[in-house]
Amino acid sequence: MRIRLLVVVPALSLGGCYGLYGHDEMDRYYNDILEATTVNCVLSTHQSVGYFIPADLIGRLIDRYDHVIGVNVSGPDMSYLQRVIDAVAGRADVHVGGPMHALTCLALGGQGYLSSEGNLAPNLCVSVIDRYAAGDLPGCFEAYNRLMHLFTATRDMGGITGTKAALQLLGLPGGTMRRPRLALPESLWQTVRQTMIDDVDLQTIEGL
């Protein structure tokens, strides 16, 4: 079983191109890029560009180019995720965007998930995968429950805005918000401490 999370590799992430119409244009777009580089590449198929890379095209790109080492799938359609995992057939890693479908991805044969929560809770994020790989499903589910509570609380606090506030409360480096984003008002910091730190026992899990 090959499972990975928070693995940093030198790779180019290839996202979609707005306005591509039809299979032939997608085929040309990705082949033009992959033929122009030998850098390790990860295909990113994301709902935000208005389409998903067809699963059969992903399979053919992996057939043609050894430097395609992964596929990131971000979207709610689990039937599409299954088709991608089947098309990849173990030749590259498949991750889902966000922790929402992490366990589904693992169950279908994928390798893990992408998560901005790793900036705040790396030990917690990794523990979901470590416990799954060890066959400790109760432990995996407990860690995943905490992670999803953190994910939900983070979204309630504006995503990265809440994350940076939590990092500041913990005395950890996180930097400041960049325009047009605004820092979280200090009136909400107690909520951040309660929901993003104390409720998930973050300091214990992260050894802080």
Q: What is residue 9's predicted lDDT score, i.e. its pLDDT?
A: 43
Cα atoms found within 13 Å of the Cα of residue 127, Cβ hemisphere only: 18
CATH number of 1-114: 3.20.20.70
Torsion of CA 113, 119, 121, 123, to 10 degrees: 70
Q: Quote the CA–CA distance of 103 and 144 in Å, as a whole number.
A: 8
Q: What is residue 5's predicted lDDT score, i.e. its pLDDT?
A: 42
Q: How far is CA 197 from CA 54, 113, 189, 193, 204, in A?
A: 40, 22, 11, 5, 10
Q: What is residue 140's predicted lDDT score, i.e. its pLDDT?
A: 98
- Neighbouring-strand partners of residue 112: 95
Q: What are 6-30's pLDDT values in tens digits?
A: 444 444 555 555 555 578 888 888 8
| Residue 87 near residue 56 (C-beta atoms within 8 A) | yes
Q: Rounded to the nearest 5 degrees, what angle is found at the Cα of 131, between the Cα atoms of 130 and 134?
A: 90
The tens place of each residue's pLDDT in the chain, 208 residues long, gives: 444 444 444 445 555 555 555 788 888 888 999 999 888 999 999 887 777 899 999 999 999 999 999 999 999 999 999 999 999 999 999 999 999 999 999 999 999 999 999 999 999 999 999 999 999 999 999 999 999 999 999 999 999 999 999 999 999 998 999 999 999 999 999 999 999 999 999 999 999 9
Contacts of residue 165, Cβ cutoff 8 Å, sequence gap at least 6: 157, 183, 184, 188, 189, 192
Q: What is residue 6's predicted lDDT score, i.e. its pLDDT?
A: 40
> Which sequence spans correspond to the domains of the chain?
1-114
Instruction: Show the beta-strand stretches assigned E in 15-140.
Output: 41-46, 68-74, 93-97, 112-114
